[in-house]
Structure 1
């Protein structure tokens, strides 16, 4: 059965990786420093060895020249440090030797020691490291001394490496201890540092788990938790991950809430549309059923047909508005042509005066013609809906002013009235479909179905115009920004 390998945390892997790299660097540095230190110490011993060998060689050469014989053991005076030795060989036979102890006395080499040395082949000028069984490592060199009468002798000199090896071993122990201590400190502080650096990722995990446990399939989404940002880690990769997740959560929340609002709007749209269509259909059906069962006089029948026609017209207008909104939702494209905006305003105000004769209508236009790029029918529909909205939802005698103003980069088509104003709570949803801002006592509340401003907004969006409203107790102002 295949077992799943346990995955360590990123924190643990980083601590192990950092500690391992640091330990490897310390090992390489320590090994390099050990090699360099040992080489320097051996060079010092080698310098001492050469001086000692030269002294021994001079003593032997001087004695051979003066007495034609090697100097006696007691007469041999050379400078060799403690734990050093010299040996004079004639061919392979030992003739003179001395071992200098650490208490600055000396003695002849033993037969065992001489045999160990004789077992090593020496060439004049050769320097090597060898091991004596009881004394450890030695640095040994040999030189040749010629005698006019007796032939030649080989002078072998050695200096002990015990102190050098002890220094190297002590250095190895210390550098190992220091390296392990540094690695332990690096692991401890590295763990704390890495933990601090990865804290945002822990918060990311917690927030992600919280969001995963939250139902998001329906309804309005409440604001989820956010990943806190550590000021000490601003700009780090973990901080950028936290920023990205926070931005993602905001986008998801706003998108889901927008979808929820769209679904609610669609349900309300269907309910309101059904209600508005049902009323005229019920009236038409009622009149038809009643007069189909009993005869009516011509006057009453004419009145009934007029009522049926009125309800049919109202239903037809509603259906036209719904079709227009549906078309704009499916294909929000309009024509782009040159339109005389001043002419559109004049014709619209002339028409609307007959529909609302009890209002005071005013216009304010620039002296020269105002030409813009857009769809004339769309602009005319927007303006007609805005002025009709002012006529329907303000009392008789209200002054309504339609103006064209020049601003930086655009023309502002404005419709102002000095009516009672729009409630502040209704402003955010004023351009939604089937929204009616009037109060329950408004005599004009039921005269419209709340699609006029929704059409204005849809046409403005399709044309690339800006639509806004400002209202208070002094009146209401609708503004359409049209680029020049």
Structure 2
């Protein structure tokens, strides 16, 4: 049972019950605390008033005893000094040794509670046992032992009692009223808490109902809740922004899948068409060799696309964190230049490396992916550079950043396409001398994905005379924030 209650308390579905219980608990604790303080103050006030009355009466009675008691006082004299108010009773008169000189109700030293005879005024409570022993009935009250001197110099101690008549019944009535008030207040608190918590969670229920309409088939769904407060408005705004990001991701994925399907159909259709046209009984060996060459070319293109897609999938931050290590960008640049010099030779293109002289261009990440990033930038520059041109590879570092830049002497990129060139399968149309079927348009998408996964960013701009510059800015550590630093020094 206890475990079930704990589970219900922790269950997010019981938020309204938890809010109600919390509200009622706070109210109950506050009410009980206030009642306890009121009870203590009431008791203190009542006691103080009783003590004041007893002291005033004792002072008056002492004057009566002084001037009417004569030289000796006996029990027979006590009725003359009894107060008219029946709440008060003069119990006894004692001398300085504590000997009872006069007593009422047969009081003796055994009946009287111990007192400090050295004090002039001494208050103490009267217990029910003492009251029953002295008066034959149970009452509570206050006992005052008051010291005064007779005219002949004798010291007398007066024992004066004020009895609480019917106090037990009054206390029971008071407690009953308190409990009734607490119970009524608790019911009111539960009702108020349930109502207020219902008002508080109504927007959440509306969001839950609206969330049921969110589906991959309808990614454009947005929350449109009635105005219920600034907090809910902010929550709705954040949720709509998140849905917007999801919608963009779905659209990018759909476009990516469509591009993949289209690109896969082309080489498959080519191979299928050529295979249907071949007649082994009549076609020459040369035609078969041509078919073999075509199939090999298309299969290499398919393999290149699959490899590019795998690289895109691998460029995940979780995997990079698992494989991160220190990556000196100078070494990465030199290795890429040496590796791709062979690919630049058919066009007589010179690869010109410029390394970071400070040696501070070191980042945290996956060295293989960063090498792939730079290789793709260099291959893209070689592809768009004229024969006999130059491709520059520059490594530099700033305050909290390291830069990899690749520039070429090609025709540049039309301004309207600068924001699209990093999309998968996108290729700038109508570029003379560029075989669009020889590439898939995944290289720059891989560069952007790898840079983002390492906490960096890719930027591109056209040079003033010809060609363009691609720059990747990376933070020095995986947790570092990309901040402003000096731009890398490049040929313009």
Do they superpose with TM above 0.5?
Answer: yes
Confirm whether residue 122 of structure 1 aligns to residue 107 of structure 2.
Answer: yes
Checking the alignment, whether the CA contact within 8 Å between 2:460 and 2:468 is kept in structure 1 is: yes
Task: Give the drift of 1:61.
Answer: 3.7
1:215 counterpart SS class: coil
Confirm whether residue 46 of structure 1 aligns to residue 54 of structure 2.
Answer: yes
Q: Report which stretch shifted further, 255-264 or 308-317.
A: 255-264
Which residue number corresponds to residue 324 of structure 1? Answer: 307
Task: Give the drift of 1:62.
Answer: 1.7
Aligned partner of 1:285 among 254, 259, 275: 275
Which residue number corresponds to residue 216 of structure 1? Answer: 215
Which residue number corresponds to residue 413 of structure 1? Answer: 405
Which residue number corresponds to residue 384 of structure 2? Answer: 390
CA distance 1:201–1:423, shift in 2 (3 Å):
farther
Q: Any idea what the Cα deviations from partners look like across 1:284-306, whole Å, max 9, x if unmatched? A: 325414xx46567xxxx75x467
Task: Give the drift of 1:451.
Answer: 3.9
Q: Any idea what the Cα deviations from partners look like across 1:88-119, whole Å, max 9, x if unmatched? A: 99xxxxxxxxxxxxxxxxxxxxxxxxxxx99x
Aligned partner of 1:479 among 471, 474, 481: 471
Aligned partner of 2:443 among 441, 448, 453: 453
Confirm whether residue 25 of structure 1 aligns to residue 29 of structure 2.
Answer: no
CA distance in 1, matches of 2:357, 2:39: 92
Q: Any idea what the Cα deviations from partners look like across 1:177-229, whole Å, max 9, x if unmatched? A: 9x979x97xx79x969x959x97655444323422x22334453645469999
Task: Give the drift of 1:33.
Answer: 1.9
- Which runs of structure 2 are paired with 1:104-115 in the superposition (5 Å)? none
Normalised by the size of structure 2, how large is the TM-score? 0.55
Task: Give the drift of 1:27.
Answer: 2.1
Which residue number corresponds to residue 438 of structure 1? Answer: 429
CA distance 1:268–1:61, shift in 2 (3 Å):
same
Q: Report which stretch shifted further, 461-470 or 319-328.
A: 461-470
Root-mean-square deviation over aligned CA pairs? 6.4
Normalised by the size of structure 1, how large is the TM-score? 0.56
- Which runs of structure 2 are paired with 1:176-255 in the superposition (5 Å)? 195=196, 202-211=202-211, 213-218=212-217, 220=219, 222-224=221-223, 249=239, 253=243
Checking the alignment, whether the CA contact within 8 Å between 1:403 and 1:413 is kept in structure 2 is: yes
CA distance 1:226–1:387, shift in 2 (3 Å):
farther
CA distance 1:455–1:140, shift in 2 (3 Å):
closer
Q: Any idea what the Cα deviations from partners look like across 1:343-398, whole Å, max 9, x if unmatched? A: 7537746743634x8xxx5654448999999559847842553124425xxxx799
Which residue number corresponds to residue 427 of structure 1? Answer: 419
Task: Give the drift of 1:433.
Answer: 3.5
1:435 counterpart SS class: coil
Checking the alignment, whether the CA contact within 8 Å between 1:423 and 1:437 is kept in structure 2 is: no
Confirm whether residue 62 of structure 1 aligns to residue 98 of structure 2.
Answer: no
1:220 counterpart SS class: coil
CA distance in 2, matches of 1:308, 1:369: 52
CA distance in 2, matches of 1:33, 1:334: 70
- Which runs of structure 2 are paired with 1:342-361 in the superposition (5 Å)? 342=334, 344-345=336-337, 348=340, 351-352=343-344, 354-355=346-347
**Structure of greater Rg:** 1
Checking the alignment, whether the CA contact within 8 Å between 2:384 and 2:410 is kept in structure 1 is: no
Task: Give the drift of 1:281.
Answer: 0.4
Which residue number corresponds to residue 308 of structure 1? Answer: 291
CA distance in 1, matches of 2:88, 2:455: 107
CA distance 1:86–1:469, shift in 2 (3 Å):
closer
Checking the alignment, whether the CA contact within 8 Å between 2:144 and 2:161 is kept in structure 1 is: no
Checking the alignment, whether the CA contact within 8 Å between 2:333 and 2:353 is kept in structure 1 is: no
The count of residues paired between Structure 1 and Structure 2 equals 398
CA distance in 1, matches of 2:27, 2:59: 47
1:427 counterpart SS class: coil
Structure 1 unaligned regions, length at least 5:
90-116, 144-155, 232-238
CA distance in 2, matches of 1:480, 1:381: 13
CA distance 1:305–1:36, shift in 2 (3 Å):
same
CA distance in 2, matches of 1:432, 1:370: 34
Task: Give the drift of 1:324.
Answer: 2.2
